[in-house]
Chains A and B, each alone.
Chain A
């Protein structure tokens, strides 16, 4: 039983989410191949070869795969996928974009966002914004799966798998990359950070997020936000934590001025320790918080930063 893991990368480096997917793959079987599809993506392939437990890295280096447009890469992955029992990718925006397309091309159902592997056919996944956990079994000949990174530990590096080049070049020629605007940040990446400090509507405006940034810098934390803070324009959308944003499970999650709506909790309630700072003692966030502080955030947050 061979498993194909589709690597997440930006051509020059492998995204750490791939390591979590390899751990999920190892819970299914042993013969794990990683596909790196991109353009001038040799460095990303080198990164994939170093993940422990990877038997082989396949590299499809072609201009058509540069931005990993789903129309092109799905043709490649579906073509390769026929030879595997499982095809896995991280449940990132790239994985979510591409994998259902792969599944449809292979005429199989897809299982999204798994958080646990029971056996080679049986998986656990959250439904209803994480308010229920479904155990699902698949009888599909090829299991196409996306993996929630926070459900699995990252696989260690130190391996040295052989790298094999693929000649494949699929170009559907129906879509084109126009441009991108990536948010720049020196802080840790939200989904990988050990500590996350998040602000909500209670922050009042974007300038006030400065006090969260100074707290985050003291803690070496990433900064997140609730949908209310994003919709109000305080911060960009890629900072959103929740059912429709990013799913995080850090060691410590500090929710500041966040009421704790179902959709927000879906993105953070697997954090090890949750701290809530809110002036409304009835806020639902206190029902999931390990430590709650009923206080005005504009006094409590600078005070907290000062005491660290």
Chain B
């Protein structure tokens, strides 16, 4: 079966972001970028399904400016077979990404679509669910285990109180949680090989999707600073402070 994986280029998760002085956005100039960590888990899961003989082809797709080809190449080096970039310099909200993905799903007709549960920049946690709704497919969000058996995807999901398992008719959309797997590193020979794998570039217009958003960001501010704390010298002092100064116990 064919697996489609969506990856997003985001700020590296170790970088502490700074808000621009004019409060228009965060400052992303000269900041290290990488594949969103949840998308890496999605690529890894697709590659494992291929290694088990469940998946036959892995198509990886990313949307955004030309630079996001770097993230597609990384996914190809990790084991994806070919890439699709939807090139646009517009800022894309989840609904637009979901519409673009729906158009790709209509063309490629994958049996399983794997996305990360959220991107660590916008922290929206929307795209997979929106794609599933637009394509009329079932969804297995926040997956910590995925099995494909008897024409169904059996997905164990991380929910607030513990774990929940659902069975989904294929094709289905799965979004990955952190504990689904431990992504591998790309080896140097695979990085070289990835450069020769096919990568198609498409535009939103070719896919018949109008990219638009009803959400305007008015302001981006740093969060309220916490008052500097103190170091206490002993457990007794800590108990005393919590009782008499902070009055929380």
Chain A residues within CB distance 8 Å of chain B: 67, 69-71, 74, 92-94, 96-105, 107-113, 122, 126-140, 172, 174-183, 191, 195, 219, 227, 230-231, 236-238, 243-244, 246, 251-252, 262-263, 269, 272-275, 281, 286, 288-295, 300, 303-304, 307-308
List the A side residues contacting B232 at CB < 8 Å.
291-293
Contact between chains at A111 and B177 (CB < 8 Å) = no
What's the least CB distance linking A21 to chain B, in Å?
15
Chain B: interface residue count, which band? 35 or more
Q: Given the known inter-chain contacts A103-B95, A177-B166, A300-B235, please indicate yes or no for A109 contacting B213, CB distance below 8 A.
A: yes
Main secondary structure of the interface of B (DSSP, over half): mixed
Question: Taking CB as reference atom, which chain A residue is nearest B159?
Answer: A93
Q: Compute how far the CA of A135 lies from the CA of B222 in the bound complex, rounded to whole angstroms.
A: 11
What's the least CB distance linking A186 to chain B, in Å?
14
B223 contacts partner chain A, Cβ-Cβ < 8 Å: yes
Query: In the complex, which of the residues B128, B221, B226 contacts A269, with contact meaning CB atoms closer than 8 Å?
Result: B226
How many A-B pairs have beta carbons closer than 8 Å: the answer is: 255
As a 0/1 sequence over residues 114 to 150 of chain B, the CB contacts with chain A under 8 angstroms (1 = contact) are 0001101111111111111110111101101000000
Q: Compute how far the CA of A258 lies from the CA of B183 in the bound complex, rounded to whole angstroms.
A: 24
As a 0/1 sequence over residues 15 to 49 of chain B, the CB contacts with chain A under 8 angstroms (1 = contact) are 01101000000100000000000000000000000
Contact between chains at A110 and B138 (CB < 8 Å) = no
Question: Taking CB as reference atom, which chain A residue is nearest B129?
Answer: A100
Contact between chains at A182 and B162 (CB < 8 Å) = yes
Q: Compute how far the CA of A190 lies from the CA of B74 in the bound complex, rounded to whole angstroms.
A: 38
Query: In the complex, which of the residues B163, B220, B223 contacts A130, with contact meaning CB atoms closer than 8 Å?
Result: B223
Q: Compute how far the CA of A273 lies from the CA of B246 in the bound complex, rounded to whole angstroms.
A: 7
B230 contacts partner chain A, Cβ-Cβ < 8 Å: yes
Contact between chains at A308 and B123 (CB < 8 Å) = no
Question: Taking CB as reference atom, which chain A residue is nearest B139?
Answer: A70
Contact between chains at A238 and B158 (CB < 8 Å) = yes
List the B side residues contacting A263 at CB < 8 Å.
13
Query: In the complex, which of the residues B137, B142, B172 contacts A93, with contact meaning CB atoms closer than 8 Å?
Result: B142
Query: In the complex, which of the residues A103, A139, A183, A275 contacts B242, with contact meaning CB atoms closer than 8 Å?
Result: A275
What's the least CB distance linking B129 to chain A, in Å?
4
Query: In the complex, which of the residues B118, B215, B222, B249 contacts A131, with contact meaning CB atoms closer than 8 Å?
Result: B222
Q: 14 A-B contacts, Cβ less than 8 Å apart?
A: A96-B129, A102-B133, A132-B221, A136-B217, A136-B218, A137-B216, A140-B214, A174-B168, A178-B166, A180-B159, A252-B246, A273-B248, A290-B229, A293-B234
List the A side residues contacting B11 at CB < 8 Å.
128
Contact between chains at A308 and B239 (CB < 8 Å) = yes
What's the least CB distance linking A278 to chain B, in Å?
11
What's the least CB distance linking B245 to chain A, in Å?
9
Contact between chains at A181 and B162 (CB < 8 Å) = yes
Q: Compute how far the CA of A26 lies from the CA of B88 in the bound complex, rounded to whole angstroms.
A: 39
Q: Compute how far the CA of A262 lies from the CA of B17 in the bound complex, rounded to whole angstroms.
A: 10
Could you tell me which residues of chain B, from 191 to 249, have a CB within 8 Å of some CB in chain A? 213-223, 226-227, 229-232, 234-236, 238-239, 241-242, 246, 248-249
Query: In the complex, which of the residues B98, B128, B169, B223 contacts A133, with contact meaning CB atoms closer than 8 Å?
Result: B223
